[in-house]
Amino acid sequence: MPQVPFPLEETFRRHFGVPPEVVVLSPGRVNLIGEHTDYNEGWVLPAALDLGTAVAVRRRPDGRLRTVALRLAATDEVALAELRPPRGPTWSRYVRGVAALLLEAGCVFPGADLLIDGDLPLEAGLSSSASLELGVALALAALAGCSIERRALARLGQQAEHDFAGVPCGIMDQMAVALGKAGHALLLDCRTLEIEPVPFPPEARLLIVDSGVPRSLAASAYRERRAECEEAVRRLQALYPQVRALRDVTPEMLAEAQAALPENLRRRARHVVNENRRVLDSVAALRSGDLEAFGRLMDASHESLRGDFEVSGPELDLLVECARRMPGVWGARLTGAGFGGSIIALVEAEQAGPASEGILEEYRRKGGRPGRAWVCMPAEGVRLVNPP
CA separation, residue 96 to residues 138, 156, 384 (Å): 14, 12, 20
Backbone phi, psi, residue 364, to 5°: -65, -40
User: What Rg, from alpha-carbon coordinates, does the chain have?
Assistant: 21
Find the DSSP H helices in the chain: 8-16, 90-104, 128-144, 150-160, 172-179, 222-237, 251-256, 263-288, 291-307, 314-324, 352-367
Please tell me the distance from the alpha carbon of residue 196 to that of residue 185, in angstroms, as a whole number: 8
Contact 295, 330 (CB under 8 A): yes
Give the whole-angstrom CA distance, residue 59 versus residue 143.
7
Q: Report strand pairing: 43-59 vs 329-335.
A: unpaired
Q: For residue 111, give the nearest of 176, 61, 157 by alpha carbon.
A: 61
* CA 286 distance to own-chain centroid: 21
Considering only CA atoms, which of 310, 158, 283, 160 is closest in space to residue 224?
310
Q: Which of 146, 142, 177, 180 is nearest to 160 (CA)?
A: 177
> Kind and range of the H or E element at 254?
helix 251-256
Please report the beta strands in 62-189, taking only residues with DSSP state E, as ranges in sequence order: 64-69, 74-79, 112-118, 184-189
Specify the amino acid at residue 204: A
Helices (H), 145-262: 150-160, 172-179, 222-237, 251-256
| 5, burial (CB in 10 Å: exposed 0-12, middle 13-18, buried 19+) | middle
Catalytically active residues, by annotation: 173
